Amino acid sequence: MLLNMADATVDSENAPLLPVAFSSINDVRFQKDVSEESSLHSPTSSTNLIEKYELVRCLQWITNNGFQRVSLQFPDECLVDSAAITAWLDGNVSGKVFVLGDTSYGSCCVDEVSAQHYTADSIIHFGYTCLSPTKRLPVLYIFGRYSIDVEDCCAKFQEIIPDPMSKVIIYYDVRYSHAVDDFKAGITVYENVLITKLNVPTDKLAEENDQGNQEGFSNHSICGRIFTVPDNATISDYSIFFIGEEGLLLTNLMFSFPKCPLFFYNTVSKEVRQETLINKKLMRRYYMIERIKDANIIGIVVGTLGVSDYLQCVHRMESIIKKADKKSYTFVVGKLNVAKLSNFLEIDIFVLVACAENSLIDSKEFFKPIVTPFEVEIALNSSREWTGDYYTDFRPLLPGAIAHVPLSDGPFDNTDVSLITGKLRTLGQSDNQPEPSDTIIARPEALSVTTVKAKDAGEFLAQRSWQGLQPQLGETPVTKAVEGSSGIAWKYSHECS
């Protein structure tokens, strides 16, 4: 959907009020929640708008590169300022500026596909982002300069980590990146603190930044951040201190650093705590790995069309699943919800190919579990050994990446006992597969009827007692078409008022 909001205005005082015939406690509670949420995202004043969203920088980027069709992408929290930002840019550039009204997937990812539908030649992404790399269009990231109490943050850091010789890696939400230097100046007594740098993807027009390894240090890129660790230390020797808000990035950090103590400073409530639920979360993911081994039919859900190398990950999943003698089907359904995935009853489990922060789905409400590509690798790749590390990003698993493990060359036969069903299961195919036979074997009458789990969607459909509406070709009389009812959704034209 395309919205041109340069001239959009709303007269709230003269807007008509809709009559409400009935109300309840739930309606009042809902209206209260909406009003509270609206107050949290109130419009930015015109005096602070230019500085908060770096509009001068946006203008220079558009002018220097000669862009003529610039698409603006906003998350929900920034939509209140989208009309004012669009109007300001539209009045200062010669080209066309428009807003992407809705994103195909998560708002943290750059929606290049929607921008290309409207022949955009560039994108400006405002607000929070997962910093996933893109390939199609030049992108400018504007994180926004959100307020933070730096003095309180430094005080809480020294309170929860009192030892100045402690080894700590600092992570922060992109919206507070402007305050990193001030925070660093407030904790100068800590000698072993590593402050991460944002790994902002370079666009097509920018020169590649070579992050060559420094002598005596090793570079690491985790969760969209870059940091260097001395060769005489490992990441597990450090604690993680995250500055931000509750959200997907915090969960991503918990899985990416399972061996490190994780401390979280909430910039909204100004509270600090140590995260202790990582073991419980990991145990649930281990359970998902067992469910993958038990599954016969696996659905590959494409959860992004903008993150680079997503198609390579889909092909990788297809190869692994086929090697394990299982059947896979690929789905592109846009934003996930329970109703969409419930249409595919034959699927035993889904694997979601998405950005690092949207891959971890709490699938309790879904009828079938949703897992990550890394969990499929652990469950079905016989060559991969469990090391305790967890990858929420699929790109390190691809060929040529740091965590890639190639599949075994020949056939394999791995038989074990399921920890969920207690039954024997076999992954892969051995060289001594029995030949298919058409010989009929008599079944003793004393045996009960057993149900064989379907190996593909065709077998699943054949086992169903109801297989949908039957066409009954040639079995029904041919009749002339007649005119049906007409009208609107409220009532048909032939109905009495």
Q: What is the mean pLDDT of the segment spanning 45-52?
A: 88
- What's the mean pLDDT in 331-338? 88
Question: What was the pLDDT predicted at 447?
Answer: 43
What is the per-residue pLDDT for 213? 58
Closest by alpha carbon to 220, among 206, 208, 233, 207? Answer: 233
| Lowest pLDDT segment from 63-77, 237-251, 452-466 | 452-466
For residue 432, what pLDDT is reported? Answer: 52
Backbone angles phi and psi of 371, in degrees to 5: -120, 175
**425-458 pLDDT, tens digit each:** 877 665 555 444 444 444 444 444 444 566 677 7
412 pLDDT band, cuts 50/70/90, is low
pLDDT the model gives residue 450:
42
**Residue 390 to residue 178: CA distance in whole angstroms:** 30
Q: Is beta strand 262-266 parallel, antiparallel or unpaired with respect to 239-244?
A: parallel
For the chain, domains (ranges, CATH) are 47-142 (3.40.50.11840), 150-202+216-275 (3.40.50.11850), 282-427 (3.40.50.11860)
Lowest mean pLDDT among 26-30, 245-249, 336-340, 401-405: 26-30
| Separation of alpha carbons 476 and 471, rounded Å | 9
Residue 334 DSSP code? S
Tens digits of per-residue pLDDT, 114-143?
898 889 999 999 999 999 888 889 999 999
pLDDT at 143: 93
Only one residue has tokens 């207690």, namely 422
pTM: 0.77
Task: Kindly indicate the confidence band of residue 421, based on its pLDDT and cuts at 50, 70 and 90.
Answer: confident
- 3-class SS at 380? helix
| R_g of the chain computed on alpha carbons | 28
On the question of pLDDT at 42 being above 70, the answer is: yes
Determine the pLDDT at residue 497: 65
pLDDT value for 12: 39
Mean pLDDT of 3-19: 42
3-class SS shares of the chain: helix, strand, coil, % to 5: 30, 15, 55
Please report the pLDDT score of residue 429 as a whole number: 62
Name the nearest CA neighbour of 353 among 126, 103, 106: 106
Question: What is the C-alpha to C-alpha distance for residues 476 and 175, in angstroms, rounded to an integer?
Answer: 65
Least reliable range by pLDDT among 46-60, 285-299, 401-415: 401-415
Could you report the per-residue pLDDT of 248-287, keeping only the tens digit for each? Answer: 899 999 999 988 999 999 999 999 999 887 888 888 888 8
Residue pair 225/192 in contact (Cβ under 8 Å)? The answer is no
